[in-house]
Structure 1
């Protein structure tokens, strides 16, 4: 069985959905499980719904209507026969969404986030499943939340592999075409959880592992894995082959093409991963497997923006020892702060962190009770894997470098935006 994953950019409009049909026709629809993200910027639009719910109730109805209108426009372009079936199914999702928002009593933002954000994937997969049926591509639509079980860490849930394996083995027919959602899952009480932003790749890895898949293909709007993000760097090169280890390193440092958690289950069973062009399905793209690092062997550039650089030192200028660091990392865990870079000296400790849960101010207030704290918000972290001096010089040019760290294979620079 093959596992395909289509991201939001691949199904951002009616033409994208038609192209998905083309890809399945070209590759053959049978013996496939297809993981699909929310369409286009739907996740962002649903985040606006959540923000309205908490902060601006008067804008809530309009923010929901915006999401609804976007999908209705796509439906009108896809379905020549305006049957009531697809509209009835989509309207039911919006009724569920509004019902949840009306009856919810929980003030927990992360819990509410997961209960709302899942509708992007549920709606996109329903539209696509119905569209494939209209074009005589028989498929089975499955709610991923009934299969992938997790703990209740909302927005960054941990998979219960044993229960998930059992569910997938019992409910997915390997000889057929199955359509399901990326990113979403559920806890033991059947409340929706999510696997982290951009977690649809991880979903594909979970299904591939549990189904002993032949391979996984991630379909993108680029030709494969490039040595740099073309939106950030002018000249890029296609990487033809990448080892599992190297792909994990690139994902860890923030390469956006592959989700960091995706590769671990694939490596365990040596399931090959392909990253291919949605627009050119017959091209080879990039393969990830038991390769030798990367081919071609060239510097790879990664950038993560909107981070925070924290620098800490003891109030009495004493040495910064393991006990201090252990205490700080306990606070990072408490406030859900992801650390991207660490550098320490005898009396100071610096970290570049991701504030995706918006808890940085709470953390800083907590730290200031015991440490001298300085910080820079909205910094960028640049990483070069397999660097050359020329690559470093090129990256540093014109930038205000706040911190620099170099190891055998990697250089990292924190710069002020």
Structure 2
């Protein structure tokens, strides 16, 4: 069995869904599990619904209607028979979304987020599963929440691998085609959880690991893994092959093509990963496997925007030592702050942070009670893997550099944009 993953861009509208069929015609066989994201920018639209609901604003009804009409338009373009069951199935899902909001008693953002945003994947997979059945690709729709079991760390749930494997092996049969959702799972009380933003790649890795899949293919709107985001960096090149370790490094530093958690379950069973273009499915793409040398061996550029640079020093000018650092990282963990870069001296400690759960203000209050704190928000972290002198000079040109750091293979700098 193979695992395919189609992201939001690859199913953003009716024409894109029809292109999924073209990809399957060229590349697929009957033994396939397909993981699908929400359509286009649906997740962003659902995030606005969560915000409007919690703030009790009058625009909530209109926001839901916009998402509903977007999907209805796609259905009307895909299905000539307006009495097709898909219309009622998606209507039922939107009714469940509205019921979820009306019955909810919690004001906890992360919990409400997971109960609402997961409907993007449930709706997209329903439409795509029904369309594939209509055009001759017989498949079974599965609810990922019945299979991927997690803890209740909403918006960043951890997988219960033993329960998940048992469920997947029970529900997924070989030599058949299945459609399921990326990004979502459920906790022990069957409340919806999510695996982190852009977590559908990780879902593909979870299913591949549990099934012992032959391979995973992630279908993208780029030719494969490039040595830089073409929206940011000029003259990017395709990396035809990289190792699991290199993929993990690139993902850790912020490369957006592969979700950081995706590689680990694949690496454990040495399952090959392919990153290919859904625009040109016959093209080579990128191969990610054990022990492969980076080819071509060139600098790889990554940027993470909207970062925070915090510099700490002790209030009494004493050294920043192990117990201070331990306390700082305890706070980072407690407030779900991701650390992207560390630099310290005898009397100062600087970190570049990613505050995806918006806990910075509370964190700063805690830090200021024990340290002298200076910080910059809205900074960008640039990374070059396998840097050259020329690559560094080019990247540094005309930038206001706040901090930089170099190791054997990696150069990083934080700049004020």
Q: Please classify the TM superposition score into its range, dividing by the shorter chain length.
A: over 0.9
1:27 matched residue in structure 2: 27
Query: What are the Cα deviations for residues 18-38 of structure 1, in whole angstroms up to 9, with x where unaligned?
Result: 000111111234100000000
With 376-385 and 289-298 compared, the bigger mean Cα shift is at 289-298
**How far did 1:84 drift?**
4.1
**How far did 1:414 drift?**
0.4
List structure 1 runs of 4+ shifted beyond 3 angstroms: none
Instruction: Write out aligned runs for 1:26-105 (5 A).
Output: 26-105=26-105
May I ask how many residue pairs the two structures share in their alignment? 417
3-state SS in 2 of match to 1:9 = helix
Instruction: Write out aligned runs for 1:16-415 (5 A).
Output: 16-415=16-415
CA–CA separation in structure 1 for the residues paired with 2:63 and 2:291: 47
CA–CA separation in structure 2 for the residues paired with 1:297 and 1:29: 34
Query: What are the Cα deviations for residues 94-132 of structure 1, in whole angstroms up to 9, with x where unaligned?
Result: 111111111111111000000000000000000000101
**How far did 1:282 drift?**
1.2
Query: What are the Cα deviations for residues 8-66 of structure 1, in whole angstroms up to 9, with x where unaligned?
Result: 01111111100001111112341000000000000000000001001242111011111
Query: What are the Cα deviations for residues 173-223 of structure 1, in whole angstroms up to 9, with x where unaligned?
Result: 111000000000000110000000010000000000000000000000111
For normalisation by structure 2, the TM-score amounts to 0.99
CA–CA separation in structure 1 for the residues paired with 2:97 and 2:28: 35
CA–CA separation in structure 2 for the residues paired with 1:221 and 1:212: 27
Query: What are the Cα deviations for residues 110-161 of structure 1, in whole angstroms up to 9, with x where unaligned?
Result: 0000000000000000000010111111000000000000000000000000
Contact 1:37-1:121 within 8 A present in 2 as well = yes
| CA RMSD between the two structures | 0.8
CA–CA separation in structure 2 for the residues paired with 1:408 and 1:83: 63
CA–CA separation in structure 2 for the residues paired with 1:224 and 1:295: 13
For normalisation by structure 1, the TM-score amounts to 0.99
CA–CA separation in structure 2 for the residues paired with 1:288 and 1:138: 30
1:5 matched residue in structure 2: 5
With 20-29 and 247-256 compared, the bigger mean Cα shift is at 20-29
**How far did 1:360 drift?**
0.4
3-state SS in 2 of match to 1:86 = helix
3-state SS in 2 of match to 1:350 = strand
3-state SS in 1 of match to 2:401 = strand
Contact 1:148-1:186 within 8 A present in 2 as well = yes
CA–CA separation in structure 1 for the residues paired with 2:191 and 2:8: 24
CA–CA separation in structure 2 for the residues paired with 1:323 and 1:28: 55
CA–CA separation in structure 2 for the residues paired with 1:293 and 1:339: 28
3-state SS in 2 of match to 1:305 = strand
**How far did 1:80 drift?**
1.4
